[in-house]
Amino acid sequence: MRKGKFITFEGCEGVGKSTQIRALKAYLEERGIDHIVTREPGGSAIAEKIRDIILSSENEGMDYACEALLYAAARAQHLKDMVIPALERGAIVICDRFVDSTFAYQGIARGLGEEFVDQLNRLSTKGIMPDITIFLDFPPQLSFKRKGGADREDRLESQDMEFHAKVYEGYKILARREPQRFVSIDASGSKNETREKVLAMLKSRGILE
């Protein structure tokens, strides 16, 4: 039985997901709240091996459907190994990316379509969905500038700006489609300002006390 809470972070490259995840982790640690921090693709031994294949710049010729299926495979393994056991013991799970990344990156930016990705996500999750998804809303044209450019070793991050603009639009579609789960947080301010917005939202939704 699922007792814990499942929180996912989403956003374009360079929006500050890692920073906000670290801040939330510190908040939970200060209060002695049981939690794990994980990521997708990856998070467990087998899923991390799949991650290496997906993101390697050596695999430029990867078919888009193959890419999406690898994400789904990594997700199914990650859920089994990490997420479900933590939720069953009552922990808070914080995950850097989940099904919404597949929707935005593969469904919209890669052009595989909403229906294909929705079906794939249903198969890989077996109904396990986040209690809340935090979308750090900051356009890629600005986030890359703040980040200092793309990581050329990351096959997806190194795509052109047109691709990342489509990713951003994919997230905007989700914000309109699932406003109760998928919550947009303006990430244009300082790290501390964004942190306070994230904590306030989680408290207002009953995820944190």
At 76-105, the pLDDT tens digits run 999 999 999 999 999 999 999 999 999 999
Instruction: Please state the rounded mean pLDDT for residues 61-88.
Output: 97
Q: Mean pLDDT, the chain, as a whole number?
A: 92
Question: For position 104, what pLDDT does the model report?
Answer: 96
Residue 144: per-residue pLDDT: 63
Calculate mean pLDDT across residues 106-116. Answer: 96
Q: SS3 string of 124-159?
A: HHCCCCCCEEEEEECCHHHHHHHHCCCCCCECCCCC
2 token code pair: 């699922």
Q: How many Å is the Cα radius of gyration of the chain?
A: 16
Residue with more model confidence, 154 or 173: 173
pLDDT value of position 57: 84
The whole-number pLDDT of residue 13 equals 85
Percentage helix, strand, coil, to 5, in the chain? 55, 15, 30
Higher pLDDT, 153 or 136: 136
* pLDDT the model gives residue 161: 82
Which pLDDT score, from 0 to 100, does residue 148 have?
58
182 contact partners, CB below 8 Å, separation of at least 6: 10, 100, 133, 135, 174, 175
153 pLDDT above the threshold of 70: no
Does position 130 have pLDDT exceeding 60, yes or no? yes
pLDDT reported for residue 140: 85
Q: What is the pLDDT of residue 2?
A: 82
Give pLDDT, residue 209. Answer: 85
What residue type is 79 in one-letter code? L
Residue 99 is encoded by which pair of tokens? 């099904």
Whether 150 has a pLDDT exceeding 70, the answer reads: no
Q: Is the pLDDT of residue 154 over 90?
A: no
Residue 10 pLDDT > 80, yes or no?
yes
The pLDDT, as a whole number, for residue 101 is 96
| The predicted structure's pLDDT at residue 133 | 98
